[in-house]
Amino acid sequence: MPYYPSRDHWEVRPPAEPGLAPDRLAAAIEYHRAHETRWRRDFITASGRYIGVADELPARGNVLGPVEPRGGPNGLVIRGGRVAAEWSDTERVDMTFSVAKRYLSVLVEG
Low-confidence ranges of the chain (pLDDT < 70): 52-62, 97-98, 109-110
First to last CA, the chain: 21
- Looking at residue 61, its pLDDT comes to 57
The H-or-E segment that residue 83 falls in is: strand 82-87
Q: What whole-number distance in Å separates Cα of residue 18 and Cα of residue 11? A: 12
pTM of the model: 0.70
8 Å CB contact between 47 and 54: yes
Query: What one-letter code names the amino acid at 78?
Result: I
- Looking at residue 52, its pLDDT comes to 67
- Looking at residue 20, its pLDDT comes to 97
